[in-house]
Amino acid sequence: MGTFQKQIVFEGAGVALITPFRRGAVDFDAFGRLIDWQIENGSDALVIAGTTGEGSTLTDEEHRACLRYAVERTAGRLPVIAGTGSNDTDYAISLSRYACEVGCDALLLVTPYYNKATPRGLIRSFLAIADATDKPIILYNVPSRTGVGIPLSVYTELAKHERIVAAKEASGNLSAIAAVAAELSDTLALYSGNDDQIVPIMSLGGIGVISVLSNIMPKETHEMCRRMLDGDVRGAAALQLGLLRLINALFCEVNPIPVKTACAMMGLDGGELRLPLCEMEEEHREQLEREMRAVGLI
């Protein structure tokens, strides 16, 4: 393992924050309360308008307003990471530049979805965004959603760029993630993108998670990461395994349907879902409620 050579955006548990909608619009009052609650309860960073924030159904105006509002509301208390990836590289550049202008601390760039890309296309697209902006970049690998993954050869090329500092790994493939960690530990930090793999990925040298679970359990998710960073693997594993059934319930339907439902059950104002996402099936709702009761959330 080498010595990491680049800026670290955060260590620990960054929350992939939901976006509350009310009557079809972003409810900024509710958004502000969620941001404050996350900061008060131990989250280490805020990810705004990512997958969990339903970024793909935000209009351009809404997307920019959410980023600007989050920076203003957070007021430097935590790093704000802007979800600005797109399958249109020019649009991703425009949105990413805006995020930099309004004071976001880093960018989270998902691989181009639907149109996908060849490895060369991925490299050119990510480098175009990196060259056009001035903040650290976290690559986001989630092939189950986008239809395209980031192979080691692409990571190796992209890690040469001074502002491409980390990857959010939600491929679920621990063998592939281990290969990235083995080759690029001094130039690419790793975050788990799956709540059921926080401890496994951190055991390979990862420095935290970008988490859905943190929307409802920020203290516990932070604590799991803290224990790993402090070398308490047994303690971290106990938390990971103790929350596994709840984590599985949070993904029994497509994210963020269950976590928004969970927020409502807890009295956290997560607002409505936006089509094509819709309310949970009753059997899944019952499963989620059962697991939330088991850990004392409701």
Q: Which residues are catalytic?
A: 140, 168
Q: Where are the alpha helices (DSSP H) in 162-256?
A: 174-184, 198-203, 218-229, 233-242, 244-250
* Tokens, residue 130: 């990196």
* Tokens, residue 161: 């760029």
**Cis ω for the linkage preceding 79 (within 30 of 0):** no
Sign of CA dihedral 192, 195, 201, 205: positive
DSSP characters over 245-294: HHHHHHTSSSTTHHHHHHHHHHT----B--TT--PPPHHHHHHHHHHHHH
Tokens 């480098």 appear where? 127
Rounded distance between C-alpha atoms, residue 216 and residue 234, angstroms: 23
Give the DSSP H or E segment for 16. strand 12-16
Distances (CA, A) of 215 to 15, 43, 52, 98, 275: 6, 9, 10, 26, 21
Cα pseudo-dihedral 39, 43, 49, 50, rounded to 10: 180
List CB contacts of 278: < 8 A, sequence separation 6 or more.
257
The three-state secondary structure class of 83 is: strand
